Each structure stands twice: as C-alpha cells, then as structure tokens.
Amino acid sequence: MNETSGDTKRAGAIFVLCGAMAALIWLAPVSPYPSTSKGKIVAAALDAAILPLIEMTGKLPPIIALVLVAVLAAAHDLGLRLPRLSPPAFPPLPARPAPGEARDAPVAPLARRRGLTAMAGLRDAEAAPGTPRKPSTVALEAQARAVMGDDFTLTDDIADRAMSLAAEWQRRRTPHEQRVDPVAIIRKARDKDRDWSNDRSWFGGLPKLGGQAWPRGKDGVPLPFVAQLDLAEIAAANPDTPLPKEGSLAFFINEGAVLHVPPGDHQPTPAPEGLPHAYEEDGYPLPETRSPLTHPLFPFWPVEPARMRLPEDLPPVSEDEDDLEIIDAAQIAASAAITPRRDYAFSTGGRLTEAIAGAETMWWYGAGLVLRQLQAALAYVPRAIAGRESSIAKGKDYQARLLAAPELDEKALADSRAWEERNRADIPKIEAEGRGLAEFAARFESFVAGRDPWSEMTAEEAALLKDVMETARRDFEQLCRFNVSSSLRDVRDATIRRMITGDRRAATAIPDAVLALLNEQYRLPTSWQHQMFGLGGCRQTNRYEHLCDHLLLQIVYDDLPEFRFGDMGLYQFWISPDALAAGQWDKVELTFECS
C-alpha cells in the first residue's frame, strides 16, 4: 500500500512538472528583447529549477512536455484559440519626410545601426524623462532589434528617418547644440626672474576663497584643493564659453566641490585642520598615512588658458565611437599646436637630457630627501610589526577552520603554519633593523645638517650619498626596500620637480639648459590634457555617461606638478547645461577613472 501511494505521488509530481514545462515554453512571449525572450526565460528556468528536477525524475518529463507543446502547436495551427502572451509593443517610426524636404545623405550599414540605437535612446528618454539619459547598451540593442529585426537589416528610408531623429535628440539633449572650442589649461613656463606667486590661475598651493569656508566632505574632512581658474582669463582665451566672465572657480577633489569666488584681491585661504596630505614626495598623491615625506598641498604652479581651435567640419559629440576618435585626435592636435606634447615622463636619464649641461648635477636637497626617506622608514616600524601580527592572527583563524573541517587539508595546514612562522621570525628582525636604522639615520642627519638645499654636491659627496642609499636598502631591507630611492637619478628627478615649483631661489638653481627643456617640452601632461569644455578623455566609461553635460574641468595624470593619480588617472568635473546657466556650482559632479 505504501509503495502504491509513493508511486502515485511520484506520477503526480511528474505530471505537474510536465505541465509546468509545457506552459512555460508555450506562454513565454515571442519577443526580440533579449531580456524577455523565450530562449532566455527557458534557459534561466532550466538552470534554476528544471535541470535539477530532471536529475531526480529522469528524462521522461521534458520528453512529455515537448510532446504537449507539439500537440498545442498543432491545435493552434488548426484554428483552436489558445492563450498566448504578446511581445512588448514598440512605438511606430516617425512619418517619412515630405517630397522635397531635406534628408540626410545615405549612410553606411554600421551608421544605420547606430542611428537606430540613438533613436531607441530618444524614445526611452522621452518615455521616462526622469531616467538616466544614457540607457545601457543591452537595452539600446534590444530596442534596435525590435525595429531592425534579428539580422539588423534596414531600408534606406528607415535609416534616414532614424538618423534624423537621432540628430534631433542630440540637439535637444546635449550641451553641444552650438560648439564651444575647448580651453586647454597649460602650465606656465618658469622664468627665474619673475615672481609668479600672484598669478590669477594656478594648480596646487592654497586657494583664495574670498571669505568662503573651505569645502568638506560628508564626513567633515576638508577636501584637497587642486586648481583655481580666473574666469576673465578663460573668457579672454575663448569668449564663446558659457561661463561667467568675472571671479574665479576653485576646484577640490575626493568627493568633489566647486566654489565660485567673486572678483577681488583676495588673500590665500589658510589650510584647515584635518586637511588630508596632498602627496608623498617622490611617491603618490593622497597618501593615507602621514610621514616625513608627505606634503599638505600640491605644488603651486600658475597656469594659462588657451583656446583649442578645432576644425569646423568635426562630427558632433555623440555615442558614435568613430566620431569620438576623430574629435579626440582633433583636440590632441589643437593642444599640440599651442605647445609641444610629450609621451614620456620627465627623467634626467632619458634621451632628451643626454648631453644637456647640468642634467647630472646633484643638489643637497636630494640628500635631505633621502634623509626624510630614512625617517619615513623608521616611522613605518610600528605598522610593519602590526602587519605581521595581523597576518599571524589571520593564519591562526584559518588553521582553526582547517582543523574543524570534515577532511583535513594537510598541505594547506602546513603552508599556513610555515607562513605563520615566517611572520613570527620577521618581527624581531624588524625590531633589530629599526634600532640599527635609527643610529644610521642619525649619523646621516649630522652629515646633511646645515647644508643649503639648493647648492650643488661635489662628485665625492654625491658618491657618498649613493653609498648611503645602497647600504640602507641592503642592510635594512625590511624597512628601506620600498621606502628609499634606488638610484641617484630618481633623487635628482624629484629635486628638479621641487625646484621648478619652488620659490625664486629654488628656481634660480636649475641649470639653464634643463629649465629650457622643461619650458619647451614639458608643459603638457603625457596623455590627454588639462582642459575645460570639449570632449573629455576616457579611461573607462565616464564620458559616455556625461555626453549630455559640460566638461567643466579635466585634471589628468601629470608627473611634474605631482598629479600622479592612479594609473594615468583622470579627474573630471561635470555640470549640466541648466545648472551651469543658473550658476548652481553645487550641482557639479566629480568622477575619477584610471586604466
């Protein structure tokens, strides 16, 4: 009796499963939308539920389900009215242009597809104005397929109407109805005889906020300052910009903020307490930990705006990748027409500095930098020990989980215990290195003390400095391997970067040939350019998500002013046309991306 009852329940379960599978296959809407297509729905159902059930019940249910679907299809073909879900409706195409009306020139098949994609984006935006202006690529392709069919074929008439509608959408939805030539923000050439501390536009240093509070993030921490640009200078460079013509804009990164400063002779705004340090000398920007090498402000460097004159026949800004590449190339050429571009970081060991007088000079500032590196290595001792102790604790937890497992992984346990022992052995080594390094750094400090940082070292003194660096990296490897420069060239490069952004006395010490090279070849970054308006640079997707916004400012990776953000990173400040027209600077959005 029990066996009969069990067989009955099993048969009932199989019958229900077969009916459910048949209904799923039959009722799934026949649609070109990939996200709702029958194939995707059935595949998802198979993966989630049906395949596991088949493993339990065998292959009989899907065979019965397919037979039921075949029976339903035959009945449908014979005229029997059966329930069937409809695909989502798609709006009809706009009316064809009347005879004699201007229409776009015939377009290539790829352009037709892009036109339909843009048209689909228009329909999506008009149907839901509050949604993001750039729908996902999947949704756009799905909508394009609904018009174009699975083979993406189009008639010329449909393509022409799609391209016209896409152009209309672009004119209404982007700030590029009237082209505004971008403005390159170029670092000024350094003149030893000129005091540039009162220039009106600059990178780094302190802002002049005219009594306004230094902006802070949501956590109350002050935001790092990167640039202040005089709007009268921007207007003089390009009167077509939609910016105000008076005052200045101050730009801050991290969470991002832009302040409009009214015109006037303002004094520098003091840095507030708690301001994160801007960069680590000969290191990276925005360090998490302060040390003798970190600086609270980026180096001060005056800049000048220059109009990037673009050809009149450039294609409009859109999502067309080919058009964007054309605009990118035009902008690069326009900036190169202002001052030479470079594709290499500054280095006194590079080909451009070969045989240049003074390129091999060492200054006492470099010795002071190495001393600060040794002091930073000493400050790292507590963190190095804490890191080893943390690794030991994590290893203990991991070993406890291994021992509690049903089957012991002996190799993993042995590896973890060996790693724990190495970390334990490192702690006394680090402590001993710290004691030795403290004595070593103290002796070197007495050697550096009282030296004029901008005076030149003799060849013997430079050789001694090199020996100090090599000894530190060899004898105190745990602490100095990643904290002390590996070559005199690295120290020299950091020294020259500090010289050209320093006071007049520091700039005067730069050899004339080296300064001439910097002024001629190194006023632009290594990729893209600092700029306002135009098409922003691209490392990921940010510019595609902001095609409808103005590029208020772009700050890019630039080694000389210590803007070494990420892996060739880009900071971009975006503002909508409406917010810009209303002067709503609090509506600016800051994005960052890198390779």
Q: What is the pLDDT of residue 44?
A: 55
Q: Which neighbouring-strand residues pair with 285? A: 279
- Please state the rounded mean pLDDT for residues 289-312: 93
Q: What is the pLDDT of residue 186?
A: 96
| pLDDT tens digits for range 503-546 | 889 999 999 988 998 999 899 998 889 999 998 998 888 888 88
The gap between the terminal CA atoms of the chain, to the nearest Å, is: 70
Query: What's the token pair of residue 289?
Result: 């930990």
Rounded CA separation 546/382 (Å): 45
- Identity at 187, one-letter amino acid code: R
Helix, strand or coil for residue 538? coil
Rounded CA separation 573/588 (Å): 6
Scan for tokens 């009106």, then name that residue. 200
Q: Which residue intervals of 310-360 are DSSP H helices?
A: 321-338
Scan for tokens 């460079």, then name that residue. 237
In 3D space, the residue among 461, 499, 484, 594 whose CA is nearest the CA of residue 540 turns out to be: 594
| pLDDT tens digits for range 551-563 | 999 999 999 999 9
The single-letter DSSP state of residue 563 is B
State the DSSP H helix or E strand holding residue 431, giving kind and residue range, or none if neither: helix 410-448
Q: Are 91 and 123 a contacting pair, CB within 8 Å?
A: yes
Q: What is the pLDDT of residue 138?
A: 43
Q: What is the pLDDT of residue 43?
A: 54
Q: Is this model's pTM higher than 0.75 or not? A: no
Contacts of 370 (CB under 8 A, 6+ apart): 444, 465, 468, 469, 484, 485, 491
Q: Would you say residue 85 has pLDDT above 50? A: no
Count of C-beta atoms within a 10 Å radius of residue 96? 12
In 3D space, the residue among 160, 272, 192, 215 whose CA is nearest the CA of residue 502 turns out to be: 192
State the DSSP H helix or E strand holding residue 575, giving kind and residue range, or none if neither: strand 570-575
Q: What is the pLDDT of residue 118?
A: 53
State the DSSP H helix or E strand holding residue 227, giving kind and residue range, or none if neither: strand 225-230
Rounded CA separation 357/365 (Å): 19
pLDDT band for position 284 (50/70/90)?
A: confident
Rounded CA separation 10/408 (Å): 40
Rounded CA separation 462/465 (Å): 5
Q: Are 116 and 144 a contacting pair, CB within 8 Å?
A: yes
Q: What is the pLDDT of residue 541?
A: 83
Of 35-39, 343-347, 419-423, which one has max mean pLDDT?
419-423
By percentage, how much of the chain surpasses pLDDT 70? Answer: 69
Rounded CA separation 593/566 (Å): 8
Count of C-beta atoms within a 10 Å radius of residue 12? 10
Q: Would you say residue 279 has pLDDT above 50? A: yes
Scan for tokens 């003089």, then name that residue. 236
Helix, strand or coil for residue 311? coil
Count of C-beta atoms within a 10 Å radius of residue 332? 17
Scan for tokens 């037979």, then name that residue. 67
The single-letter DSSP state of residue 569 is -
Of 5-14, 126-135, 355-364, which one has max mean pLDDT?
355-364
- Please state the rounded mean pLDDT for residues 76-82: 60
